[in-house]
Amino acid sequence: MNNSFALRIINVSKKLISKFGSNIKLVEFQQGAFNPDTGKITKAPIEHDVRAHFANYDSSEVVKGLVDLDDVKVLLVADYQITKSWSLMMGSMVFEIINIKTTIVQDTTLLYELQCRSRTV
């Protein structure tokens, strides 16, 4: 199947998010080396600088109980394969990923809509 339509949507999405979005860091944790002193495997953070669009949830979504009042919706182009084990950083604020919605067109992942919750560091 020709995915040129999906590629055009990705390009438009990148342009819009680049123009109207904010700078954030996506932080993934990859398994590191085994530490024989602690008996644990270290997790090495890898940071990715990206642009993303932040939005608030409307009151009807909060009332349904799946969204906390302070949760934020984050839209970003699917340049990475994000999981809920990743975190987002915007300035000094750190967000954990609660839920991930994926937009797929012609077998191509285009966008992620992340439900994120602020956490104290």
Q: What SS3 class is residue 13?
A: helix
Q: Which fold has domain 4-119?
A: Thrombin, subunit H (2.40.10)
**Rounded to an integer, what distance in angstroms lies between the CA atom of residue 82 and that of residue 24?**
14
Looking at residue 66, the DSSP 8-state letter turns out to be S
**Rounded to an integer, what distance in angstroms lies between the CA atom of residue 56 and that of residue 84?**
19
pTM, entire model: 0.78
pLDDT at 115: 95
Residue 30 pLDDT class (50, 70, 90 cuts): confident
pLDDT digits (tens, 9 = 90+) for 53-77: 998 888 887 777 788 888 999 999 9
